[in-house]
Amino acid sequence: MLLSFNSGVSALEQFQQELDVISNNIANVNTVGFKSAQVSFADTLSETLGTNSAGSEQVGTGVTTSGIANDFTAGSLSATGVQSDLAINGNGFFVVKDPSSGNTFVTQDGEFTVDPNGYLVTTNGMRVQGYTDAGLTTQGDVQINNTGAPNNDTSVVQGYTIGIDGKVSVLLADGTSFTRGQILLQNFTDPQQLVKVGDNLYSGQSLAGELSAPGAPNANGLGAVQSGYLEMSNVDLASQLTSLITTQRAYEANSKVVTTSDNILQTLINLKQG
């Protein structure tokens, strides 16, 4: 009887964890670049009661969580009309760096802005990484200004565009146009090894198996950069609500197992006392 009690308790623990994952998915249904997660279960070690001609007599002892995997399928692209908003149409992650610590992260949230110093940054100030010169030879913080303009032109920046290949073209006030740099993307052999650290950022790039150095978008298996678009959350709300109901019912059923096991144990105790 204790086995049924333990099985029920283990199920309550795991279904509570699944509820936590589902609720987080639903909470982020409108989060830019968010990737939903899914819980996988596995049975725990069974207790062998004996053997017979048909084989071993075993009783399971419950359930455990075998893993929580992120779903990295692409979300839909939403047009914003904002030049600095970027979405990846295909594979890859933007690489961003914390200017204060020097730590790098990857993200699929392309809600970028240009800060007062001309750096292309995330909403929390991380600087987007790529080539920082017209010759596309030096990697670092992508900056939009007149540095590297032909003939050392010092005219102010009038506008800029970002192509599907990530190249940043700057237009100066005197009509001069030149390539200022290029945004690069990073892809991985096993994105499941990436670690969520909040603010739509991931760490653990080396564990995920970086596919060579960051590369140019729209080439070598990397997706194209779409300026003026954002990749929305890939959470399927209808599917999550269905899972929520199913998990709730499973939780209720296993709570009944715990209650029933407790009642039977109480009955046995009462028999002994009687």
pLDDT tier for residue 199 given thresholds of 50, 70 and 90? very high
Residues 258 and 131 reside in one and the same domain:
no
Residues 81 and 197 reside in one and the same domain:
yes
- pLDDT score for 116: 95
Residues 245 and 187 reside in one and the same domain:
no
Residues 195 and 91 reside in one and the same domain:
yes
Return the bridge partners of 38, or none.
Answer: 69
Residues 218 and 100 reside in one and the same domain:
yes
Mean pLDDT of 126-146: 96
Q: CB burial class (10 A; 0-12, 13-18, 19+) of residue 105?
A: buried
pLDDT tier for residue 6 given thresholds of 50, 70 and 90? confident
Residues 258 and 146 reside in one and the same domain:
no
Render 115-173 in DSSP notation, one character per residue.
Answer: -TTSBEE-TTSPEEEEE-STTS--EEE-B-SSTT-GGG--PPEEEEEE-TT-EEEEEET
Tokens of 209: 């198996």
pLDDT at residue 127 is higher than 90: yes
Residues 211 and 255 reside in one and the same domain:
no
Mean pLDDT of 194-215: 93
Residues 255 and 134 reside in one and the same domain:
no
Kindly report the pTM of this predicted structure. 0.87
DSSP conformation class of 210: B
Residues 184 and 115 reside in one and the same domain:
yes
Residues 115 and 247 reside in one and the same domain:
no
Per DSSP bridges, beta strands 55-59 and 157-162 are unpaired
Contact assessment for residue 107 and residue 34, using Cβ atoms and an 8 Å cutoff: no
Closest by alpha carbon to 92, among 6, 178, 183? 183
Half-sphere exposure of 233 (CA within 13 A, CB side): 16
Domain total in the chain: 2
Residues 223 and 251 reside in one and the same domain:
no
pLDDT tier for residue 53 given thresholds of 50, 70 and 90? low
Residues 16 and 119 reside in one and the same domain:
no
Task: Give the structural domain span for 27.
Answer: 2-72+235-273
Distances in Å between the Cα of 194 and the Cα atoms of 69, 89, 154, 205, 271 are 10, 20, 42, 6, 55
- pLDDT score for 1: 52
pLDDT at residue 60 is higher than 80: no
Contact assessment for residue 33 and residue 262, using Cβ atoms and an 8 Å cutoff: no
